Each structure stands twice: as C-alpha cells, then as structure tokens.
A = this chain, B = another copy of it.
Amino acid sequence: MNGAESLIRTSVDAGVDVCFANPGTTEMPLVLALDRVPGMRSVLGLFEGVCTGAADGYGRMTGRPALTLLHLGPGFANGIANLHNARRARTPVVNVIGDHASWHLDADAPLTSDIESLARPVSSWVERSASAEALGSDVARAIEAARRPPGGVATVIAPQDAQWEDVSGPAAAPKFVEPASPDRDAVAATAAALRAGGAVVLLGAGGLAEAGVRAAGRLVAGTGCRVLLETFPSRVERGAGLPAIERLPYFPEQASEALAGASAVVLAGALDPVAFFGYPGGRSRLTPDGCPVVPLATPDQAVVAALEAVADELDAPEAVGAEAQRIEGLPSGPLDAGKLALALASAQPEGAIVVDEAATSGLGWWALSTGAPRHTVLSLTGGAIGQGLPCAVGAAIACPDRPVIAFQADGSGAYTLQSLWTAAREQLNVTVLLCSNRAYRILQVELARAGAPEPGPAAQSLTGLSSPELDWVALARGFGVPGERVEDAPAAAAAIARALAEPGPHLIEAVL
C-alpha cells in the first residue's frame, strides 16, 4: 500500500465516499488508488469550480465531507471561489491538493506556487503532508477538522512522493465531536427577552433544520415574537406544514428597517447581522444602536436544542405550519421575474431541493413558495457567483431520490456552466431553470443606487449580457443536456413538470 492508497482507504473508512476530482500529473498515484480501494465514487468536473461547488452542495445535504482532488496551486485556485461559499456555509469539505514531489519543490518548476497562501483564506485547517506515512493521518485529521462543529473546509497538500511511497497501512479513524450543548443562561436570557415582547429571533446555521424551524415557530406561537432567517441560509427546510419564516432583506436600509424597533435581537445560529456591502454614509451593523443582542447559540453549538429548550421553558405550543397552497391559472404573455417565480412555485414538487442562485430574478419566489410542497433551499452564502450549478450537482449526488431544481441567474450560471457536463455524465436529476435576463441586473440596480440611473457606454457594456445573447439551449446541448426555451409562465411551469418527469438533467431557458 502506498501513501495514496492509505489516504483513500482512511477516507472511505471514515465515511467519505465521494471524490469530486479534476486531477493532473501530480495526482496520478491518487487516481490509481481510487481504482485499488473500493467504496469511493469518483466524479469528474471539467473545471475545479465545479468540483468544489459540488462538494459544497454534497456536504450541505449530507453533513459529511466529500473529497475534492485538485491539481497544485493553479488547479486549487480555480476552486477557491466556491470554497469561499462553502466556508461561509460552514460546509464540511476536505480538499486534497497534489503538489510536486518534495525534492522537486526547490526547482521552482512552472507549476510551483505557494499553495498554503492560496488555501488559508478559505480553509479552517491546512496541512502539507511531510511523508507518505503522514498522508493517511493527515486526511483523518482533515476529516475531523471539516466535521468539527459548525463544519469547515480542511485542506491537505499531498506531495507526489508522499503519494507514491510505501506505507504500513491506513491511519486511525478520526474522532468526531458533537456540537456543544445549549447554554442554560443563554436559554433563560432568551426566554426572558421573548416574554418581555418585541424581540426578533434571527435564525441561522443548524437552526434552519426542520426541527429548528418548528421550534422557532413555537416561539412565535408562544410569545408573538418575530423570527427572521439570515439572508443567505446555507440550507433551510420550508414549505407547506412548516412555519413560514421571512428572510432578513438584502439591502442594508431594508434590513435595518426590518430590525428597527426590536426590543432585542436573539441570535439563534445566526451572527449579528451586517450589511452585505458598505455604502457611502452607511454603516456595517444592521442591529439598531442600543438594541440588546441576546446570543442564544453560536453556529458551533446545538442550535435546535437551544431553540427547543427556550420553547419548553416558555411552555410554547406547537407551531402552526404554512397552509399548502397551489397556484392555478398562471398569467400568460411574456415572462418576467414575477411570473417566472409564480411558475416555479406552482410546479415545484414535494421534496425538491431548490438551489437558489437566481439573484434578482428569484426575489419574488421566496414569498410565493411559502405554501409550496415541502422543500429544501440552498443559497449563495458567500456571494461568490457561479455556485448554483455545481451546488446542484453535489446535492443531486447526495440525494439521488430527490428532484433538484437549480434556480439560476444567467450571469452567475455562465461562471461554472461546465457543471452541465457532469450532470449529463452522471445522469443527475437536476432541472436548471435558467433566468435569462441578459444582464448583471443587480449591478444595474447598484449603478442606480450609486447615482447613475443612466449609465454611459462602459457601464452599460460591463453590466449587460445582451450583445451577443447567450443561447443557453445550445450551451446545454454542447454539454450533453437537453434544453428548451420558454417565454411565458404556463410554458415555464409545463417545462419544469416535463423535465422533472424524465430522469436525468434538463435545462429550461426562461427568457425574461
């Protein structure tokens, strides 16, 4: 057994069973090991951002890390943006980055670069294996680090000689830690704040699991408090039967307004909220000055248990879930973002996983889908666009029996469109609902906010995608995914239903 086999064997033994890979020469021993060690599924991405985004989606749906297998600094660099999103989502991910043989590093060969410097900004744990024998134990420690509450990105740099040299066997199994129990004082303080009236509970991280959403609903039922979700949840359960919860708005002035007048802000897995961007004359914090912040549970704690403890202490009744609501009689005529949101809300099936990178086109869908069949939403946690399609690939591999809908903006989708090929190769049940508004619309909104309602030619050119128009049906076909174009709401809903009824991936270009 060589170091590479030890790494793969140790990973499989620790319950890691998928490897999203785009290997090169320095990873060949690991590629060969994937054939020698049973139990690891290898999934090729045509670009590393596909691999890392898929690992993020997979980790969000399973709670377990996938491996990514990446090629030195430049290959890893291509995966950084989606690891940034995974870091913000606190998704467990283990990167394995091949590097030159240790004795070849000083030669400064063309592909040599400072991998650690690239890896640290997105990793909670980075280690370069010093020997073949260390490779197994390093990946075990990486898996431990990735699964340490609240979850994180861990990175092992695997020199090629450590991969090819012989070792005694796989490493000892990693030890997993449970999230810390709720803090009794925090529970009491939260109960007191809620009893006093006027508090807002901000729900995030593990609190967005079904039990957390239900417990938050009990707080509303018991005290009349308000509950808001963090703006970009990593993963949240919602739909008919679950308490309806609004999101904290995106723009800071709207978010501040949502929190204005709160007697206290209770943080249940969420962080004290800050503006996504700073604006002239603006500020970072969104919580009103002087408003007490009650930290019920940090993301690394057992948020659900903390919410349930508060609800119990308040003797709160069961929550009332959102009523099932079916949207009938969709408007016809040319699609716009509102009609598209209606079409999706009307067509989405029970158990769907909706990966929401629809940006401005998706804003209306949240409220419209409150009473839609039960579904899971994965959102763009770190703002690094190009996350939706890869994340959908990973979610579909994690949950082969659930329909995955990638609700996808066009500008962001073009970043990592190679994901479509992996969806085709693996025949994943992913329906891409591509919002073709042919613009970076959010930037056009930002230009208006910056006082340029009539941008000049450079600003128009740098925020517009209409010249030439992307033909998404052709792009999908190029990667082996069947597609169709829709131009009104009933056609969009029908296309979604058709796509979901057929196994394998589909793309629907919704012209807005």
Please count how many residues in chain A sit with their CB below 8 Å of the partner chain's CB atoms: 101
Within 8 A of B (CB), among A22-43: 23-26, 28-29, 31-32, 34-36, 40, 42
Interface contact B84-A73, CB-CB below 8 Å? yes
**Residue pair B384, A276 in contact (C-beta under 8 Å):** no
A237-245, A361-369, A468-476: which lies at the B interface? A468-476
Interface string of A76-94 (1 = CB under 8 A from B): 0110110011001000000
Least CB separation from A463: chain B residue:
B31
Instruction: Tell me if A501 is interfacial: C-beta within 8 Å of chain B.
Output: no
A23 to chain B, nearest CB (A): 6
- In angstroms, how far is the closest chain B Cβ from the Cβ of A94? 18
Interface residues of A in 98-120 (CB under 8 A from B): 100-101, 103-104, 106-111, 113-115, 117-118, 120
Within 8 A of B (CB), among A389-437: 411, 414-415, 417-418, 421, 424-425
Residues of B within 8 A of A330 (CB): none
A151 to B386, CA, bound (A): 32
Asked if residues B109 and A284 are in contact (CB atoms below 8 Å), the reply is yes
A248 to chain B, nearest CB (A): 12
Q: Count identical subunits in the complex.
A: 2
A47 touches B415 (CB 8 A): yes
Q: In the bound complex, what is the Cα–Cα distance between A442 and B27 (angstroms)?
A: 13
A277, B72: Cα distance in complex, Å: 11
With both chains docked as a complex, state the minimum distance between the C-beta of A270 and any C-beta of chain B, in angstroms: 13
The B-contacting residues of A in range 440-456, CB under 8 angstroms, are 442-443, 446-447, 450, 452, 455-456
Residue A467 lies at the interface, judged by CB distance under 8 Å to chain B: yes
Contacts of A107 in B (CB 8 A): 274-275, 278, 284-285
Smallest CB gap from A81: residue in B: B74
Asked whether any CB of chain B lies closer than 8 Å to the CB of A121, the reply is yes
> Bound complex: CA of A21 vs CA of B460, how far in Å?
13
- A121: chain B residues at CB < 8 Å are 73, 113-115, 117-118
Chain B residues with CB under 8 Å of A29's CB are 450
**Which of A289-297, A308-316, A477-485 contacts the other chain?**
A477-485
A-B contact pairs, 21 of them (CB 8 A): A23-B443, A24-B443, A28-B450, A32-B450, A35-B458, A44-B461, A47-B386, A49-B78, A78-B415, A101-B278, A103-B278, A104-B277, A111-B276, A111-B384, A117-B117, A117-B121, A421-B468, A468-B480, A471-B477, A471-B478, A472-B478
